[in-house]
Structure 1
Amino acid sequence: MVILYPNSLVDVNHLPVKYRYSDIPEFQPEMNTLKTIEEQERDALDSIFSDDFSFDDEPDFDAQHAPQSLPPEGVNLKEMLADLEVNMINQALDAQDGIVARAADMLGMRRTTLVEKMRKYAIHR
């Protein structure tokens, strides 16, 4: 079907009639509600970095280690982000009973990426 309809969305209506279900309505994508991945990521980052965002929804997050404004002496951003990443990975693994594939889905990443990060931070489950 991809060969017959390159660069287009292929649905059941492109199938020969004998392979279609008669009670399925023709697919009509909602173009105005579909967002690209970049737009979804931008919206997520905007909500995270907005002024009214708080970590109150994350019970295990230690807000004392995340400065609200950059202190005059600066911060070790790499270390701070690594601590946050380890914390989120551990929370996801705990929530999914140590099942790496489910934890990766929860974190919005591939399982192999999560395995690499677990290896990097020496997280064993």
Structure 2
Amino acid sequence: MTEQEQPVADVFSAACSSRPVLQHLTGRWGALAMVALDRAEGPVRFGELRRRVEGISDRMLSQTLGQLERDGMVHRTVHSSIPPHVEYTLTELGARVAGPLAELIELLEAELPTVMDAQAAYEAAS
């Protein structure tokens, strides 16, 4: 595509292609998978990733990784061994995106007492 053919990104537009990518990254499992891969030291096998992201089913992890691979965030390598195994790493783009997601997670973890206090106050007022 030439520079003139580049679509204008506007995530607030329902027709923008960036919206589904944002949903893949910020959905229930996308951010957790991205940050788990970001924090790993090297390639991660499927089972390792499933254990790290507690509560995710095999099917949902597979679907999430497939979406992130399609979006250019995750690289999947299939090793022809017996038995065959698959490893996942972040692409360059994925690593750039995972950094801010990790910062958001760290901020939420650090502010969890404040969030819990706000939730309790809300429930008491309701």
Query: Do the structures match in fold with TM over 0.5?
Result: no
TM-score (norm 2): 0.30
Higher CA-based Rg: 1
More helix by share: 2
More strand by share: 2
